[in-house]
Amino acid sequence: MSDFLNKTIEDRGWSKRELARRAGLSSGQVTDVLNDRTNPGCDFCISVARALHVPPEDLLRMAGILPSLPPAVASEREATTLYRRLPEQIRDVILATMRNLLGLTPRPAAYAVNESGQAYDQPQTASERLAYQIAQGMEDMPPEDQQELLDFMERLQRRGAGERHNAPMETTP
């Protein structure tokens, strides 16, 4: 736990004294825990968690007060935490991608125009449904986020149509 706290306050540009002030603890208490001279208790973990704006149970688990989460639950919590940190437009794209991968993408009434310029009512493939939803979400994105998303979509397209939807995907260019 001390490694996590030391790195966190360093990343935020805080001193041990600043963490103590924000957590409502004495500098001695914080220093003792951060220097591994004493183990943190429940009250310490909860106070520091509030000061850092992190879930108290995370610090309670690091301190060994609560048991570790099963790996699947830990992964889901991490995904949720990361998702919440993203801009709304990116979250919308992620949800659209997940729905599409599960075949839950709603079909729009007026969809697109084919290569000949003729409109058609229904997307012809799952990829078209996803592309339509992503394009809707991209309208308000900053240009650099749009480009990053387009690059990702290009990597998806190169994956090939015959692969299973849950196969691992390389996320680096």
What is the 8-class DSSP label of residue 113?
Answer: E
The pLDDT, as a whole number, for residue 119 is 56
| Biggest CA-to-CA distance, the chain | 74
**Which one of 3.10.20.520, 3.30.1600.10, 1.10.260.40, 3.40.50.1370 gives the CATH number of domain 2-62?**
1.10.260.40
The pLDDT, as a whole number, for residue 171 is 44
Residue-wise pLDDT for 97-136, tens only, equals 888 888 776 555 444 555 665 555 555 666 666 666 676 6
In the predicted model, is pLDDT for residue 34 greater than 70?
yes
Q: Closest Cα to residue 130, out of 105, 110, 148?
A: 105
Using DSSP, state whether 120 is helix, strand or coil: strand
The pLDDT, as a whole number, for residue 157 is 66
The pLDDT, as a whole number, for residue 164 is 45
Residue-wise pLDDT for 46-68, tens only, equals 999 999 998 899 999 999 999 98
The pLDDT, as a whole number, for residue 46 is 96
Cα 11 to Cα 34: distance, rounded to the nearest angstrom: 15
Q: Which residues contact 79 (CB under 8 A, 6 or more apart)?
A: none
The band of 148, judged by pLDDT with boundaries at 50, 70 and 90, is confident
119: which strand partners? 113
Tokens of 16: 């041990």
Rounded to two decimals, the pTM is 0.50
Q: Closest Cα to residue 54, out of 86, 29, 22?
A: 22
Ranges for all domains in the chain classified under CATH 1.10.260.40: 2-62
Report the mean per-residue pLDDT for the chain. Answer: 79
Mean pLDDT for 69-91 is 88
Mean pLDDT for 153-169 is 56
What φ, ψ does residue 112 adopt, rounded to 5°? Answer: -160, -175
The pLDDT, as a whole number, for residue 9 is 95
Angle at 146 between CA 140 and CA 147, to 5 degrees: 160
In the predicted model, is pLDDT for residue 29 greater than 60?
yes
Residue-wise pLDDT for 149-158, tens only, equals 777 777 766 6
